[in-house]
Amino acid sequence: MKRNGISSNTTENNGYHNGAVRLAEEILTVVEPDEDFIGDNHVGTSKDTPMLEDAFDATDEEKIEQIAFHFGKIMDIMGLDRSDDSLKGTPGRVAKMYIKEVFSGLNPANKPEVKLFENKYGYDEMLVEKNITLHSYCEHHFVPIIGKAHVAYKSNGKVIGLSKINRIVKYFAKRPQVQERLTEQIADELKRVLQTEDVAVIIDAEHMCVSTRGIEDVNSATVTSHYSGAFKTERTQNEFLKYLD
C-alpha cells in the first residue's frame, strides 16, 4: 500500500519526532508565502472537485488508517500528549469522520440513486424545496460551512421524490468545497437528473474561516445563486424569491 510522507516506523509519540518533522518540512516546501491571498484565488479551480487520478485506488479502510497515522503526527508536532485518555483515540476518530461522514461526498459510490416518476398530476408550476440544511467544509482551511440551500425546478414531464433533492445537496456538500462550485454542482446534477434546464439554486451560508479566524466576522454570510432555463426571467426569479420570505 502506497504511503506518502513519513514512514510508520518512527519512534514513540513524545516530543517532535524526526518523521513528523520531515512531514512538516515537506508540506511547508509547497506552500507559497502568502497562503491567505492564494486561498481566495479561485482562478485555477473549476466546476469539478479537484481530484487525483488514483483517488480511489485505496479502500476506505486504508484511507482511514493512513489519515489516522498522519493526523497523529500533526498532533505530535503541536506538542499534544497522545497517551492522554482524551486524546489517544483522536486520530482514528478524525480519520473516520473524514472518510465516512464529512467528506463522504468525494466517493462516487455514495452518490444518491434518484428515480424519476411521471408527472401524472399535470403539475406545471415550480416546485420549491427551501431551507435544506447544509453542512460542508471550506477547502481552503478545512473548517465548516453551515447554511441553507433553496432549490426549485419546473417539471419537464418528470418529478423526483422530495427527499432526493435534500440528498443531492448533502452529497455535494460532503466534501471540501468552494460555495460557488457547490452551487453549480447541485444545479448541474438536478438538471441532469430531471432532464430540464428549468432549475434554480440559492445557498446562504456562514463560513467558519471568516467567523472564527482571520477577520473573525460573526455577522456576515455568503449567498450564491444559479438560475437557468425559465428561471432566467425576472418574473420567475421573483416568484421563487417570494417563496423564500
pLDDT at 24: 56
Active site residue 139: yes
Active site residue 140: yes
28 or 57, which is more confident?
Answer: 57
User: Domains in the chain, ordered, with CATH?
Assistant: 18-102 (1.10.286.10), 116-244 (3.30.1130.10)
- Catalytic residue of the set 17, 70, 150, 207: 207
**Lowest mean per-residue pLDDT among 9-13, 205-209, 236-240:** 9-13
Active site residue 207: yes
**How confident is the model over 158-191, as pLDDT tens digits?**
999 999 999 999 999 999 999 999 999 999 999 9
Active site residue 237: no
**How confident is the model over 112-143, as pLDDT tens digits?**
999 999 999 999 999 999 999 999 999 999 99
Active site residue 177: no
- Catalytic residue of the set 66, 177, 179, 185: 179
Task: Kindly give the residue spans of alpha helices, DSSP state H, lying in the chain.
Answer: 18-29, 35-39, 60-77, 90-96, 162-173, 179-194, 208-211, 234-244
- Catalytic residue of the set 17, 66, 70, 141: 141
- Catalytic residue of the set 66, 138, 185, 189: 138
Active site residue 179: yes
- Catalytic residue of the set 184, 189, 209, 226: 209
**How large is the average pLDDT for residues 201-207?**
99
For residue 77, pLDDT beyond 50: yes
pLDDT at 46: 76
For residue 3, pLDDT beyond 70: no
pLDDT at 12: 42
Q: Rounded to whole angstroms, what are the CA distances from 56 to 2, 154, 171?
A: 12, 36, 17
Active site residue 138: yes
For residue 76, pLDDT beyond 70: yes
**How large is the average pLDDT for residues 43-71?**
92
**Of 86, 84, 83, 103, residue with least CA distance to 95:** 103
CA distance 158 to 102: 31
